[in-house]
Amino acid sequence: DVSATLDNQLLEAPFDLVTYWHVFEHLEELPNHRAQWPKLVRAGGFLIIEAPNIRSVGARLSYRSWLGSDEKHHINHQTPDAIIATLRTLGFEPARTEYFSGKFSYVYLWSALLGSLFGRQYDFAGIMSILKAPSRMLLARPLWTLNAMASVAYLAPLIVGLMLHGLATGQGEVLRVYAKNQPTQTAKAEVK
């Protein structure tokens, strides 16, 4: 039983490092989940969250087609400021923030530009199918797939420029925050 194994592993908390790599935006019971962070991460340990940045260049270009929006699955979007404020409220201090992901930045901007250029919401399932199985999509929807695949190349100069702009301004396609669990005065006294 997977859940029993996970529950047993959580009994070993606190941990030095807990990561939420594109999990945060999927959490259904966020307040209950957040309340566990100080218990899961030892004092001086780190919590790392990477999530779509709803204040990004791509989200502002065409939120409806931006793959980071994925309203069907991403039920818990928050601004970077709200995420950081929540972390601070729970005793975590951001040690570093980043706004780039090698896996997500390019495709998020690509999808937003496609939606912006063609003036409509882009087909999430279709885009994901191209990314996962391009040859199957070529057979199923040849012209649409060829256009989408070609746009990866012809939009490259614009996408790279927008990625650099996002990095420089904190408006990149993802937020990644490394937050250190700062021991409270009570926790410091207990350690001594």
Q: Helix or strand or coil: residue 119? A: coil
pLDDT top residue among 191 and 1: 1
Q: What is the distance between the alpha carbons of residues 179 and 184, in angstroms, rounded to a whole number? A: 15
pLDDT, one tens digit per residue, over 139-185 is: 999 998 898 889 889 999 999 999 999 999 999 999 999 999 997 65
pLDDT, one tens digit per residue, over 73-124 is: 899 899 999 999 999 999 999 999 999 999 999 999 998 998 888 776 667 7
Q: What is the largest CA-CA distance in the chain?
A: 68
Q: What is the distance between the alpha carbons of residues 187 and 161, in angstroms, rounded to a whole number? A: 46
In one letter, which amino acid is 131? Answer: L
**Mean of pLDDT values over 120-138:** 81
Whether the CB-CB separation of 68 and 107 falls below 8 Å is answered with no
Instruction: Return the pLDDT at 7.
Output: 67
Q: pTM for the full model?
A: 0.83
Whether the CB-CB separation of 105 and 162 falls below 8 Å is answered with no
